A and B are shown apart, each in its own frame.
Chain A
């Protein structure tokens, strides 16, 4: 059985859902998983790396250094004789994986949506041109390094690691994280949220974004997204932009409000589970990818939808 090292991010004493999905991807490909965790609280969080047979905690260095941690992770990959390395396609994972790959002198694969066994190595499927095409790839490298797209793989249905070990981060850090200015309101990120409600230029005034936020609050577990038009207008931060030059999202439910559905926007959301579009123009291209559409004025439909959802939840 091939071994896969999975870099596990953790917060509040537990491994993040996105990393559990990476473990799930490796486990479903029949691999034995070794979880690697860095940072304060790693040894407590290791117990929640379900699906891994072993956890390795990286010690030393109190400030995160991507270059130093990547060197240590590559050491673990070599020491374990692993054939694969996975991380979630989060900021950290995407930043780390190519560095680990360079240490191992292999080419990395970003944002994979499938991960299966191929001999003693692996085969991946990943988007090209922001998902306009899907490529199935294998690697001639010794280790297959990849990041897994969020909300695509299921966490492994298995127990906690039976064994834990430590490995020191020994390389001299060249870059270090010295401060974090948190989001404060603990808002969900569009990439992680199970529900995304996005607004477009048809909202007409920045105040009207409130309608979108109210709907998100009524549904719960929802993040607000935006078309590039809204971001360019400066009404929403770039971190919320969905599309080819923003974030690619695959939530269970995506609601596009007053968004026309330009090809660059569709590239960022067309793999969502269920797509709902609300647009006053019945010919808007967004309806071509929508499972359910309402043709109508967002200013009338949104408040009614928000109330109806509150009502439905109260009855549930």
Chain B
């Protein structure tokens, strides 16, 4: 089985947002990067699936910069067999559709059977690329998966909605987007790190569909109104109730 884990290089969650001088983007200078939190879960699920099958191959696929291989090697150290990098220095500026089209082209040419993605990439917070890729491919997609069982040509997934936990039955091939709770991503051992250095990493020029999304303005959220400490300990409770009732009017 040709299993693919799609991962995106995103700013670390500590990143502070700073709009660029023209107000049309975010300043990227000084940013640290990581593999998006949920994509680590996708890599783990891909590797676990291969291990359970006792056969197959896991490809780590990213649309990202040429220089971003450190994070991709980490995915290989955690069990990916090879990597494909769709090289684009402006990967972070692509809209969801443009990203999805580039991934679809690669997934088609490599003959993917099962694709794992993150629930959302923690930069633009689109939560869209997974279901878009699946729709373009004509495949089912199950989003925010917290439990997964696979058979030869079908699977059963558990997802958490506002109503409770749903069971979803689907046919393969499929795109699965991974939610926290599906698995606990492993740490890369020294052996894995050494092995990763020798694993194949192929660079491919991606499909370049132009963006539809046009940025009018990027701004910081309005600062919150200055708050105040109403007091210390139990003695402050009446003052808080008074403020919530008569000032904020939320009680």
Contact = CB atoms under 8 A, between A and B. Distances in A.
Interface in A221-253: 238-239, 241, 244-245, 252-253
A117 interface: no
A274 B236 contact: no
B215 A136 contact: yes
B212 A106 contact: yes
Contacts of A66: 131, 141, 143
A54 interface: no
B87 to A, nearest CB: 22
B139 interface: yes
A217 interface: no
Interface SS, A side: mixed
A127 B124 CA distance: 8
Nearest to A274: B248
A149 B159 CA distance: 20
B170 A175 contact: yes
A106 B129 CA distance: 12
A178 B251 contact: no
Contacts of B237: 294, 301, 304-305, 308
Contacts of A92: 161
Nearest to A252: B250
Size class of the B contact interface (CB-based, 8 Å): 35 or more
Contacts of B135: 67, 70, 98-99, 102-103
A106 B219 CA distance: 25
A293 B230 contact: yes
B227 A180 contact: no
B163 A182 contact: yes
Interface stretch (A26-34, A157-165, A204-212, A283-291): A283-291
A101 interface: yes
Given A141-B97, A241-B180, 11 more contacts: A101-B96, A103-B135, A129-B125, A136-B218, A175-B169, A176-B170, A189-B162, A195-B250, A264-B14, A296-B234, A309-B251
The 6 A-B pairs at the shortest CB distance, nearest first, are namely A102-B135, A174-B140, A175-B170, A175-B140, A107-B97, A98-B128
Interface of B: 11, 13-17, 19, 26, 37-38, 95-98, 100, 122-132, 134-136, 139-144, 146, 159-171, 174, 179-181, 211-221, 224-225, 227-234, 236-238, 240-241, 243-245, 248, 250-251
